[in-house]
Amino acid sequence: MLADAAAMAALTAHARSVQPRTVALRRALHRHPELGLNLPRTRDAVVSALADLPLQVHLGLAVSSVVAVLDGTRPGPTVLLRGDMDALPLPEETGLDFASEVDGVMHACGHDTHVAMLCSAARLLAARRNELAGRVLFMFQPGEEGFHGARHMIDEGLLDRTGPAGRPEAAYALHISATVPSGELHVRPGPLMAAADIVRVTVSGRGGHASAPHDALDPVPAAAAMVGALQTAITRRVDTHQPVVLTIAHITAGTTNNVIPETAFMEGTLRTLSETTRTQMHEEIRRVCRYTALAHGCAAGVEIVPGYPVTINDDAATARVAALSGALLGPERVISMPNPIMGAEDFSYVLAEVPGALAFLGGCPPEVDPLGAPPNHSNRVIFDEDALANGVAVYAALALDALRR
């Protein structure tokens, strides 16, 4: 394991020396965010940032992905490092000098920092090629924000033995967090983030005049009853030790005040931390909605759109992240998370295939109370750019550790 204090200090110093380059790339990406799976400007910025390094660069066919491979000087395994690239459909209100110049689009989840950190980590590792027995696969992926970008890259052969770098034996990702103090790294083995599915329900009845509901089959009370019945199903049908969050966030029906509509529509999100509970809740949602609708003389059509699976960190990989980050940042700054979070992450697709870990990098500015800081996905979120050097060093240390052993 890379635990030599002098080597760690040198790695940290190198990360800080390239900080101007890291920040410049981050700000350029922040000014010009892109959404979804087609990110041509971001892709080209990544290719340009890597152009002077001894990397084999492969561009995605169906999506704007970039895969770069650094070969060490000796044979050995492959380690994967991921950085996601897409932004969110939010109007930025940070007041930053380098705020988004694209109306209604903003890097509100810090993916611009992930790309910049991974590019600089590639620079650190390229300078240490002679120390690598194996290869590093840098995964720059579009479409993390609900577009299944990682799955698209896997479908194009990212993890295949015949892929760009052969099948990886370990995979790591960092995610910056605006509510974690800068300088800290938060880790957790096992389930880290939830599976997230979309639930859509259409309740069908018979329209009529609002003054004579007995002559109609009103879908609105049926939909309203479903909301409460679904929450009751969680408390009465699911083991209390299995976390479930079901939120109905959108309900719509009707066109005016005196017409009973024919249909009511509602949709929301289901979050679970195990595939068993996820499957059970799919069945419960369909059952509850169907029979609640029938009790009101209506019918219910239920659509459940599968989202990202549970993000599960490998125990040994998580311990490695904690040990290396402790050596770089100080052991007191590596925090073990007591509980998973119910957000979702499409790095879960990679971790389902390759043992590895995702960790949260502190990005809350020192002058801001983390408890009151605008969080990721807020249009006022601000990340401490000094944290980027920490991420660069951690990324590089993970690859060096994996390929020196």
- 169 classed as catalytic: no
Task: Work out whether strand 263-272 and strand 244-253 pair parallel, antiparallel, or are unpaired.
Answer: antiparallel
Q: Tokens 């760690």, residue?
A: 8
DSSP states along 152-163: HHHHTTTTSTTS
Q: Tokens at residue 333, please?
A: 């700054």
Helix spans in 73-188 (H): 111-126, 149-155
Residues 126 and 104: their CA atoms lie apart, in Å, by 37
What one-letter code names the amino acid at 393? Answer: A
Active-site residue identified among 34, 92, 308, 345: 308
Per-residue DSSP letter, 366: T
End-to-end Cα spacing for the chain: 6
- 395 classed as catalytic: no
Helix axes 40-50, 19-31, angle to 10 degrees: 160
Neighbours of 357 (CB within 10 A): 28
CB 395 within 8 A of CB 14: no
Catalytic amino acids?
Answer: 308, 385
